Amino acid sequence: MNRRCVITVGDLGEFGVVARIAGRLPQGGAVLLGPGDDAAVVSAPDGRVVVTTDLLIEGRHFRRDWSSGYDIGRKAAAQNLSDVMAMGAVPTGLVVGLGMPADATTGWLDELTDGFRDECDLVGASVVGGDITRCDLVVVSVTALGDLGGRPPVTRSGARPGDVVAFAGRLGHAAAGLALLRAGLAGPVELIDAHRCPRPPYARGPEAAGLGATAMLDVSDGLLQDLGHVAEAAGVALVLDPEAFTTPPAMREAARLLGVDPLDWVLSGGDDHALAATFPVHVRLPEGWNVVGHVIEGEGVQVKGLSLDRGGWDHFRE
């Protein structure tokens, strides 16, 4: 049975018309009816649809003088695609709501759309439509859909004492890049690029689900803060070993320039969209997963030998 999901947000045709004119809108196999009508139709073979949404606001989540339209498109897509993968699902479609000021040119919109296309291509997903309106700032709202492929979702609440804590992807790179930009420094370039355009470890999400991950999430607000959600949801404590984390030369150089401890970025920096998960201790983790701690009875997140005054990203705190 070919199950379908009808998605309606604003006027899906409006975003589709602009993108189709530029010839840039990707269409994957899950899209049964794409942009051009009042709603899109996306296949849902599993019978369940994973849904997540995010909002990016100019000046709060990005700056156009620091990031191109292409960078912003990729970043907006990545943070939603990563959330779907963190549930152990595979992304199928994105719906994009876009507010644009008068000074945003057609060329800038083309770049933004190209960014969405290229990020979606990494996972075989599609932009199925959206809506555009005039706005004082650039505002990008993305809703992502995903399919579990018959697997149970991997939630935050399944961690159990005895499990190991591991992560896949990069930690602290985007935070280091943002710190460099704020300080007016031009390098190391790889860190600035990490802030502009994250590289989530997409394939690791469904992989972790297949390996029997007991809990998993996307690290968007900082490892300590996000793992705190796992600890709270599961009613356990997570103990991290600071010596299990490594920092690349570029991050150490940036920390030297700014006079900070690079471990702060690793533990508290967001926007890299790494995946953090807990696994039964007997699971042999493949290359790409880094074991950094374990789960015990208790509550909260502990880091051996460190006082936890490191906070993560808080949308309501400057």
Q: What is the CATH number of the domain that holds 174?
A: 3.90.650.10
The verdict on 141 and 219 lying in the same domain is no
Q: Is the pLDDT of residue 79 over 90?
A: yes
Q: Among the residues of 57-141, which ranges form H helices?
A: 69-86, 106-121
CATH number at residue 82: 3.30.1330.10
Q: Is 38 annotated as a binding residue?
A: yes
Does 132 reside within a domain? yes
Confidence of residue 243 (pLDDT cuts 50, 70, 90): very high
Does 310 reside within a domain? no
Q: Is 162 annotated as a binding residue?
A: no
Q: Is 114 annotated as a binding residue?
A: no
The verdict on 174 and 40 lying in the same domain is no
The verdict on 17 and 122 lying in the same domain is yes
Residue-range definition of the domain harbouring residue 28:
4-147
Q: Is 220 annotated as a binding residue?
A: yes
pLDDT, tens only, 182-236 = 999 988 999 999 999 999 999 999 999 999 999 999 999 999 999 999 999 999 9
Residue with tokens 């790494």: 274
The verdict on 9 and 100 lying in the same domain is yes
Q: Is 314 annotated as a binding residue?
A: no
Exposed e or buried b for every residue in 189-216, given b needs 16+ CB within 10 A?
eebbebbbbbbbbbebbbbbbebebbbb
Q: Is the pLDDT of residue 12 over 60?
A: no
What is the tally of structural domains in the chain?
A: 2
The verdict on 91 and 180 lying in the same domain is no
Q: Is 155 annotated as a binding residue?
A: no
Rounded mean pLDDT, 149-169: 97
Q: Is 273 annotated as a binding residue?
A: no
The verdict on 132 and 69 lying in the same domain is yes
The verdict on 17 and 141 lying in the same domain is yes
- Give SS3 for 201: coil
Q: Is 53 annotated as a binding residue?
A: yes
Q: Among 119, 147, 175, which residue terminates a domain?
A: 147
pLDDT, tens only, 90-131 = 999 999 999 999 888 889 999 999 999 999 999 999 898 888
Q: Is 173 annotated as a binding residue?
A: no
Q: Is 61 annotated as a binding residue?
A: yes
Does 227 reside within a domain? yes
Q: Is 63 annotated as a binding residue?
A: no
- Integer CA distances (angstroms), 153 to 39, 110, 150, in order: 27, 35, 9
Confidence at residue 46, expressed as pLDDT on a 0 to 100 scale: 83
Does 83 reside within a domain? yes
pLDDT, tens only, 258-285 = 999 999 999 999 999 999 999 999 999 9
Q: Is 83 annotated as a binding residue?
A: yes
The verdict on 128 and 228 lying in the same domain is no
